[in-house]
A and B are shown apart, each in its own frame.
Chain A
Amino acid sequence: MNVKEYLSQKKNDDCVTIKTIPFASHNIYVLYMPSITDMTKIQDSILAPLLEWNNPEDKTVEHAFSAEPLTILSQAKDMDSHLLNGYTLMLENETVYAVETCGFHYRAVSEPVSEMTLRGARDGFIESLEANIKLLRVHLRSTHLKFEHLSLGLKAFTHVTIAYVEEEANEKLLEEVRKRVKAVKEDYLPDGGVVEQSLEKNTFTLFPELQETERPAKVANALAEGKVAIFVEGSPSVLLAPVTLNSLFQTSDDYNFKWIPASLIRLMRFAAAFLAVMLPSIYISLISFHHGLIPTDLAISISKTREGVPFPSFMEAFVMQLTIEILREAGIRLPKPIGPAVSIVGAIVLGEAAVTAGIVSPLMIIVVAFAAICSFTIVDYSLSLALRTVSFVMLFAAALLGIYGLILAVFILSIHLIRLNSFTVPYLEPFAPYYPNRWKDTLIRLRFDKEGGLDE
């Protein structure tokens, strides 16, 4: 490592400030990037002690610092990355010291927008890895909590931290996570979502292989259960692995309220997810294939409302589903104050007008709208995206072959889900493979045992 060469190279760099502090025998160079460092920190804890220090001959610069942890760097690559992380470098002869002085700007801790809960911790992760780990420590104070720090990205690096609780996390799982994280070969990883996708093995599945959350409490819970969390610098979303379909339906509200109502609500959430996927397709297969399965009075009134509708029921359902999806997307993209208003007005006006114009039957609006509302109860947004896509597949299957087609599609979906693994854990665990002992926290959530764990 040639310190002189490095110094001259940095002298031409506008972003790096170099201060020279002369001593009798030699100079000490202090290097930092002013845009990402805390000036007062540099002034108080580096420059001031250095200037006051009378430099006895036999002592290195290390002795000027008492509290600040000082790292000695040995490679040029490390020097660059430390500068970029907001460290201040001190070059003395051939030795390079680094002091942490970073002054990145982050937003304050606030409640996550995409994950709402009624009760429980309201803090949410922010873009700072360090702050996120601090937030996690608030919820999980354990000496067994371990972190492994890694840097990903070939051209621009992103800090990634694997967190787990020792003795809880399965060693095999941990190995798999480490292997996959280290195998990522991307030039640049902008956000947690990209990291998630580069860690996934099944790139063709609709279902998420990692769970994303912005709630420290949720991460703490998951870690205590033996999962592994992956923090990504610059991203408020923390990835949890492994994930099962069952865990995607759980929310912290389930645990914070009494077990009977919480279980009923969870059952309802499962039912709503089922309806969100199946209701429109069941409806069209009933009205266009199996009229005999509808109660007579309902059949007559459906027949009446559909009279004069120019489209086959499949087209009707497809167009309405598509409209709902467009409204939903528009609601996300629009600025906050007008977003909800536009989607509500859009839904009411479009639905009402479509019915009065005789393009769509009112029952179809009810069915599609109800399915859309049901889909909002799905806790995890990636799962919601997956299920919404599946609902379109179901719609096609129903239009093609009625209930028979639906059953075929459900079979294919089941086969897919059973084959799916998330970090060596079967996706449908504990239903398939069948572990009835672990059903205590699945469709219902059993009461907590006073002696720990969920009651038998």
Chain B
Amino acid sequence: MTLKSLFCLICSAVLLTGCWDIKEIEDVGIVTGLALDVAEEDHMLMINQYVKPGQIPTQQDSSQTDSPYQNLESTGTTLFEMIRENSLESNRPPNYTHLKSILFSTRLLEKEKLSQLIDLYIRDHEFRRTVPVFITADPVQKIFNAQPEKELFPAIQIKELSENYHKNNTNPKNLTIGDMSQYISEKKSFIIPGMAIINGNIKSYGAGVISGKTSQYIGWIPLEKMEGVRYLHNNVEGGYIYLSEKNIADGPVVLEIKGADSKFDVSFSDGELSMSVDVKVTTSLGEDWGVDRNVFKTGWEEGIKEAADKNIEDKINAILQIAQKELETDFVHLSQWVRIHQPDYWNKHKEEWDDIFPQIDIDVQADVSIKDFGTQNFNMK
């Protein structure tokens, strides 16, 4: 009796589920990257970067003959249509479980709403919510056809670059498609890490701003101004402060950032909001071009500290200038501090935040402390 029921159980498990979707890994087209751009006649262009496993160089045989990836371009009006069009050209159906990056072009995001474009990626279970998203002002073909030196696939190179954010402050932190869908549904503005082709190489290059209101691309933050965004997002984990001869007398100095913490405070008086941003930065003397400086003397860091404070304040103010005056949208997410510190005000006014934000007075204070000067002091006078 037990045997009979066990037999029935196994049979029903096998026959009734219909889950017989065996698909060998070598029959699957692994897609590492996906790029979207505009095409002619109101169509969209989609590039799928497929892996060509046979061309992956191995240790024994490093003579690479062909590029290890294939970029399949297809055009159409919906994403689904374009993905299925792939099967006209590729014998291996695309599989997006290993997708490493999604690249949008600024031209496409000026024309189309991002919320519509990512609908498929959020809806389909094959796409992971952790896939990072990037934006570029260059043609996406150029980036997907660049030959990365250390990685095999441009799509993976893009992703790996963005993971350097704790080394360099101008590198924006990764934005995953999951975070993006969250911002879109909250109607918040945000930035997408930017990529560009410089001298034939892929380079992390600033960021593109997406408006929460229209869900479209509205402007670019250039590379040199990215630092301010990082301080306002409070995700600075590394980087450096360069102070030139103009700022300090004894010669240029580079301070290595060990850590930073931004504190936000919102006060509300006489119907006016005002914010203050306090940035505390811990640094060490990274590189010193001033030979006459004696770090053994107390107070050696006074001048440097003041210059560094100003340097950081300037950078943050520059970003606030862009956000408040040029683009008039809150892509640095100061709204959350208003929500935390002045919840009553926020509940009343959250609908018109985009109109209020440009008018707010924001006071920026930076406090740089130099904890360490390394193991070197040339000047023993």
Residues of A within 8 A of B14 (CB): 400-401
Minimum CB–CB distance from A412 to chain B (whole Å) comes to 7
Cβ B98 vs Cβ A299 within 8 A: yes
Q: What is the distance, in angstroms, from A307's C-beta to the closest C-beta of chain B?
A: 5
Chain A neighbourhood of B270, CB < 8 A: none
Segment among B16-24, B83-91, B187-195, B370-378 that sits at the interface with chain A: B16-24
Cα–Cα, bound, A402→B21 (Å): 9
A287 interfacial contact with B, CB 8 Å: yes
* A306, B26: Cβ atoms closer than 8 Å: yes
Q: Which parts of A265-303 form the interface with B (CB within 8 Å)?
A: 287-289, 291-292, 294, 296, 299-303
Chain B residues positioned under 8 Å from A306 (CB to CB):
24-26
Please measure, in the bound complex, the distance between the C-alpha atom of A304 and the C-alpha atom of B60, giving whole angstroms.
Answer: 14
Chain B, residues 6-34, CB within 8 Å of chain A (1/0): the string is 10011001100101111111101010100
Report B36 CB to chain A, min CB distance, Å: 21
Select A304's contact among B6, B23, B53, B128, beta carbons within 8 Å: B53
Quick one: which of B10, B28, B56 contacts A291, CB cutoff 8 A? Answer: B28
Please report the C-alpha to C-alpha distance between residue A412 and residue B13 in the assembled complex, in whole angstroms: 11
Within 8 A of B (CB), among A297-343: 299-304, 306-307, 309, 312-314
B51 within 8 A of A: yes
Q: A301-B56, A412-B6 are in contact. Are A401 and B17 (CB under 8 A)?
A: yes
CB closest chain-B residue, reference A286:
B25
Q: CA–CA, A292 to B25, complex, Å?
A: 10
Q: Do A303 and B22 touch across chains, with their CB atoms under 8 A apart?
A: no
Q: Which of A289, A307, A402, A408 contacts B26 (CB 8 A)?
A: A307
CB neighbors of A among B143-192 (8 A): 156
Asked if B3 is at the interface (CB within 8 A of a chain A CB), the reply is yes
Once A296-B98, A412-B6 are accepted as A-B contacts, the answer to whether A287 and B17 lie under 8 Å apart by CB is no
Main secondary structure of the interface of A (DSSP, over half): helix
Q: Are B17 and A288 in contact (CB under 8 A)?
A: no
| Residues from chain B with Cβ under 8 Å of A401 in the complex | 13-14, 17, 19-20
Give how many B residues have a beta carbon under 8 Å from the other chain's beta carbons. 30
With an 8 A cutoff between CB atoms, is B230 at the interface?
no
Given contacts A404-B19, A412-B9, contact A288 B24 (CB under 8 A): yes
Is B54 part of the contact surface with A, judged by Cβ < 8 Å? yes
Query: 0/1 per residue, B313-329, Cβ < 8 Å to A?
Result: 00000000000000000
Take A296-B32, A400-B14, A412-B6 as given contacts and tell me if A288 and B56 are in contact as well, using a CB distance cutoff of 8 Å: no
CB proximity of A293 to chain B, nearest CB, Å: 8
A89 CB contacts on chain B under 8 angstroms: none
Complexed CA–CA distance, A404 and B13 (Å): 10
Interface string of A400-435 (1 = CB under 8 A from B): 111011001000100000000000000000000000
Q: Check A399 against B9 for contact (C-beta < 8 Å).
A: no
Q: Which residue of B lies closest to A400 (CB)?
A: B14
Return chain A residues, CB-CB under 8 Å to B28: 291, 303
Among A291, A294, A303, A313, find the residue whose CB has the most chain B CB atoms closer than 10 A.
Answer: A303
**A204 and B3 within 8 A (CB):** yes
Using an 8 Å CB-CB cutoff, how does the interface string of B25-53 with A read, 1 for contact, 0 for none? 11010101000000000000000000101
Residues on A with beta carbons closer than 8 Å to the beta carbon of B3: 204
Instruction: Given A287-B25, A412-B6, answer yes or no on A303-B30 (Cβ-Cβ < 8 Å).
Output: yes
Give CA–CA (A288, B95) in the complex, Å. Answer: 13
Interface check B379, CB cutoff 8 A: no
A291-B97, A292-B98 in contact; A303/B13 too (CB < 8 A)? no
- A299:B25 contact, CB within 8 angstroms: yes
In the bound complex, residues from chain A placing their C-beta under 8 Å from that of B126 are: 292
B25 A291 Cβ-Cβ under 8 A: yes
Convert B87-130 into 0s and 1s, putting 1 for each residue whose CB lies closer than 8 angstroms to a CB of A.
Answer: 00000000101101000000000000000000000000010100
Q: How far is the CB of A395 from chain B (nearest CB, A)?
A: 13
Which single member of B17, B23, B100, B156 contacts A404 (CB below 8 Å)?
B17
A129 to B156, CA, bound (A): 71
Given A401-B17, A402-B19, A291:B51 Cβ within 8 A: no
Instruction: Please measure, in the bound complex, the distance between the C-alpha atom of A307 and the C-alpha atom of B29, giving whole angstroms.
Output: 12
Task: Give the docked Cα–Cα distance between A303 and B56 (Å).
Answer: 10
Contact check, B51 vs A303: say whether CB atoms are below 8 A apart.
yes
B13, B20, B126 interface centre (most CB from chain A within 10 Å): B13
Q: How far is the CA of A180 from the CA of B9 in the complex (A)?
A: 33
Neighbouring B residues of A288 by C-beta, 8 Å: 22-25
| Contact indicator A304/B56 (Cβ below 8 Å) | yes
Q: Are B53 and A307 in touch, CB under 8 angstroms?
A: yes
B20 touches A303 (CB 8 A): no
Q: Which residues of B contact A301 (CB under 8 A)?
A: 53, 56
Report the bound CA distance from A408 to B20 in whole Å: 14
Q: How many Å lie between the Cα of A402 and that of B22 in the bound state?
A: 8
**Docked complex Cα distance between A311 and B104 (Å):** 40
- Which residue on A lies nearest to B128, using beta carbons? A292
Contact B53 A300 (CB under 8 A): yes
Which residues of B lie under 8 Å from residue A307 when comparing CB positions?
Answer: 26, 53-54
Residues of A contacting B13 in the complex (Cβ-Cβ under 8 angstroms):
401, 405, 408
A412 — which chain B residues lie within 8 A by C-beta? 6, 9-10
Contacts of A309 in B (CB 8 A): 26
Alpha-carbon distance A300/B97, docked complex (angstroms): 12
Shortest Cβ distance from residue A315 to the other chain B in the assembled complex, whole angstroms? 11
In the assembly, what is the distance between CA of A288 and CA of B30, in Å? 13
Q: Closest CB of chain B to A409's CB: distance in Å?
A: 9
Chain A residue with the shortest CB-CB distance to B97? A292
Known: A299-B25, A303-B30, A307-B26. A400 touches B20 (CB 8 A): yes
B25 touches A399 (CB 8 A): no
Q: A296-B98, A412-B9 are in contact. Are A289 and B22 (CB under 8 A)?
A: yes
Q: How far is the CA of A289 from the CA of B23 in the complex (A)?
A: 6
Chain A residues near B25 (CB-CB < 8 A): 287-288, 291, 294, 299, 302-303, 306, 313
Contacts of B9 in A (CB 8 A): 412
Cα–Cα distance between A309 and B24 once the two chains are bound (Å): 11
A204 to B28, CA, bound (A): 41
Contact status A304-B54, CB under 8 Å: yes
Write the nearest CB–CB distance from B289 to chain A, whole angstroms: 42
Closest Cβ of chain B: how far from A237's Cβ, in Å?
30
Q: What's the Cα separation between A400 and B25 when bound, in Å?
A: 16
Q: Which residue of B lies closest to A309 (CB)?
A: B26
Q: Which residue of B lies closest to A304 (CB)?
A: B53
Bound: A287/B21 CA distance, A: 12
**CB neighbours of A292 from chain B (8 A):** 95, 97-98, 126, 128
Q: Are B24 and A399 in contact (CB under 8 A)?
A: no
Inter-chain CA distance A261–B126, complex, in Å, is 44
Contacts of A299 in B (CB 8 A): 25, 30, 98
Q: List 15 A-B contacts (CB under 8 A).
A: A291-B23, A291-B97, A292-B95, A299-B25, A301-B53, A302-B25, A303-B53, A304-B56, A314-B22, A401-B13, A401-B14, A402-B19, A402-B22, A404-B19, A408-B13
What 8 pairs across the A-B complex have the smallest Cβ distances?
A292-B97, A304-B53, A303-B53, A306-B26, A287-B25, A296-B98, A288-B22, A304-B56
By a beta-carbon cutoff of 8 Å, the part of chain B in contact with chain A is: 3, 6, 9-10, 13-14, 17, 19-26, 28, 30, 32, 51, 53-54, 56, 58, 95, 97-98, 100, 126, 128, 156
User: With A289-B22, A292-B128, A307-B54 given, can you name 17 additional A-B contacts, CB distance below 8 Å?
Assistant: A288-B22, A289-B21, A291-B98, A292-B95, A292-B126, A301-B56, A303-B26, A303-B53, A304-B58, A306-B24, A306-B25, A307-B26, A313-B24, A401-B17, A401-B20, A402-B22, A412-B10
